[in-house]
């Protein structure tokens, strides 16, 4: 347990020193919610949500961005960098078990994401009085489900990509379009009909929509969206198991 705790804290410190991860995980969602929450008072038309203020509408999207950025930027780049520099190879021959290393790395990512989400909540509550009309337990469960799913996908990317430079390019190619196609900045209904099924199939879409339903206290009728997330979780885990290598 001592080795697990020390390794987890070391990884968490490295995350907090990563300027790219800090920008996309903390600065971007916080400033985005604060700026548009201050400029607008009502949710954008077309999404089907009424009541509460605009910052409250942006809160679930901010949480989704935090999870997406931490998993797709922090996790893959760390894995590929460690592999290129030989850190993974050295870790493999330490007295720590492989399961302990994997658990410590995962816990550090969980703690980082949780810390950033708390910051987002605090900023929203202090400056915009954001509220959660639905179940806090359901919200917590959905956040954890989203974290597990996207960390699985992040580890899959880090397992397949050969270098951190290629990883940085690939994650940005996936990261940016997914934000705009996942019912976050604009409703999916405005996109061409051929593109809408693709938007609904993206893992960020069900995460963002279900989080927003919970925040607004709207009944979650489309439980099939949880199946989409679960499918991506399994796919990420399978790819990681098949393609992960230490060197």
Query: 82-127 pLDDT, tens per residue?
Result: 788 887 778 777 776 777 777 888 888 889 889 989 999 999 899 8
Distance set, CA 245 to CA 160, 187, 190 (Å): 9, 40, 42
Q: Is the pLDDT of residue 241 over 70?
A: yes
What is the rounded average pLDDT of the residues 22-40? 82
Check residue 183 and report its DSSP letter: S
Check residue 44 and report its DSSP letter: P
Query: 44-89 pLDDT, tens per residue?
Result: 666 667 777 888 888 999 999 999 888 887 777 778 877 888 877 7
Predicted pLDDT of residue 14: 80
Query: 207-220 pLDDT, tens per residue?
Result: 999 999 999 888 87
Task: Output the six-digit token pair for 75.
Answer: 């996790």
pTM of the model: 0.88
Cα atoms in the Cβ-side hemisphere of radius 13 Å centred on 98 = 7
Place of tokens 């925040």: 215
Residue 218 contacts by C-beta under 8 Å, 6 or more apart in sequence?
Answer: 49, 134, 212
């Amino acid at each position: 347990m001592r080795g697990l705790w020390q390794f987890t804290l070391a990884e968490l410190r490295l995350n907090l020193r990563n300027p790219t991860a800090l920008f996309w995980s903390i600065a971007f969602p916080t400033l985005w919610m604060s700026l548009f929450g201050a400029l607008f008072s009502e949710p954008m038309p077309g999404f089907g949500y009424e009541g509460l203020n605009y910052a409250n509408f942006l809160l679930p999207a901010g949480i989704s961005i935090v999870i997406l950025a931490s998993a797709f930027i922090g996790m893959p780049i760390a894995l590929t960098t460690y592999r290129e520099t030989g850190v993974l190879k050295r870790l493999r021959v330490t007295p720590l078990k492989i399961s302990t290393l994997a658990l410590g790395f995962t816990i550090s990512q969980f703690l980082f994401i949780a810390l950033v989400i708390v910051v987002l909540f605090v900023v929203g509550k202090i400056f915009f009085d954001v509220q959660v009309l639905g179940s806090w337990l359901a919200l917590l469960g959905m956040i954890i489900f989203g974290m597990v799913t996207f960390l699985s996908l992040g580890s899959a990317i880090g397992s397949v990509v050969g270098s951190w430079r290629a990883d940085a390019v690939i994650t940005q190619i996936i990261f940016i379009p997914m934000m705009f196609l996942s019912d976050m900045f604009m409703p999916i209904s405005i996109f061409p009909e051929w593109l809408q099924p693709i938007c609904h199939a993206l893992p960020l879409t069900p995460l963002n929509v279900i989080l927003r339903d919970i925040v607004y206290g709207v009944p979650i009728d489309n439980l099939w969206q949880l199946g989409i997330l679960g499918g991506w979780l399994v796919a990420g885990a399978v790819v990681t198991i098949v393609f992960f290598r230490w060197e």
